[in-house]
Amino acid sequence: MRLCKALLTAVLLASTALVGVAPTAQAGDHERVRVLTWNIFHGGREPTPDNLNDLIDQVIDIEPDVFFAVETYGSGDLITDALTRRAHNGRYTGVRITDRPAGQDNLWIFTKYEVVASYPKPQGGPVSDFNLGGVRVRVPHDGELNLFATWLTYTDPWDGYLIDENAIDRRDGREPRHSVAAVVQAGRAQTQYITDIVQNQLPRMLGGNTAPVLLGGDFNTLPGADWTPSQADCPNHFGLSYPLTATKVVTEAGFVDTFRAANPDVCAVPGRTWSPLPTEKLITDQRIDFLFAKGNVETRAARIVDQRMRRHGPGVFYSDHAAVVSDLKVRW
């Protein structure tokens, strides 16, 4: 009788394999996921339209499994096609998050994983689909990931410039021209937007889904954890610190800043993403582009890409933002 049961089990398992039914995720199953987060600056067409070809070469060389793109602006289909044909990483799907005509389609998500759901647009707060949108994807072992691209509004005055001006003053022996309160106030809009995203929009969109969440994009503000009093003696901080609030909202909601998790020494690895262009002559390291993760996600490595590929020869970088590449292990 035990032999018959064993044979029956074997037949059933073989039948399941033949019809292509995916196995259910088991405890301990995991997937290594490479995520690229990059504001590509006016669709990658600056300073000339030819720049887009070089920028796409860089994206292909990275071979991301997920790519959160900001300022995609009419380049989404070209990027999707190029990744599928040339990245040797399988077929990619490009999802236009910002539902506006080409040239106004800010946010896109590109992924090699199967997209199983698109989340509804934000509603009821300051955030629109120009700022946030997401999809759920299926990855090997029948696991799932929730992917959300984001862009927080820019404001003038901007806290990054105020911080840099204060650093210049301190370097030159003057009293900083901007108060701490003024710097914090300059980040109020970013804090308002991310609070709406984390406390209202994401819970409503997810509707109780408990799969890991990745939130990536251009936050237009510096990380509060990099500017506390314990980092005041970092190079080019000049003894200054600020209680910045926007990214603190995210980490207090249980998200991990993947770049800082992989590079915990702020002084040694500041992670400047604003800006690789020589026109932005800042003396402080401005990290304003992020990938945050929530759930059973382990950060294996993270790096900044801010140099042209050697085969492209000399010239300025492809965007006014550096790219952030994070290598993760996601478990189910």
- Residues 210-266: tens digit of each pLDDT: 999 999 999 999 999 999 999 999 999 999 999 999 999 999 999 999 999 999 999
Q: What percent of the chain has pLDDT over 90?
A: 87
State residue 140's pLDDT score: 86
**Cα–Cα distances in angstroms (integers) from residue 88 to residues 61, 63, 65, in the given order:** 10, 8, 11
Number of Cβ within 10 Å of residue 86's Cβ equals 14
Confidence category of residue 26, pLDDT binned at 50, 70, 90: low
Residues in the chain: 332
State residue 102's pLDDT score: 82
pLDDT top residue among 23 and 271:
271
**Cα–Cα distances in angstroms (integers) from residue 197 to residues 19, 43, 127, 297, in the given order:** 41, 25, 7, 20
Q: What is the DSSP letter of 209?
A: -
Beta-bridge partner residues of 236 = none
Tell me whether residue 219 is exposed, middle or buried, using C-beta atoms within 10 angstroms of its C-beta: 0 to 12, 13 to 18, 19 or more.
Answer: buried
Residue 113 has pLDDT above 80, yes or no: yes
The b-or-e profile of 127-151 (16+ CB within 10 A means b, else e) is bbbbbbbbbbbbbebebbbbbbbbb
User: What is the residue-averaged pLDDT of the chain?
Assistant: 92
**Cα–Cα distances in angstroms (integers) from residue 219 to residues 131, 140, 158, 179, 246, in the given order:** 10, 30, 12, 22, 9
List phi, psi (to 5°) of 308.
Answer: -65, 150
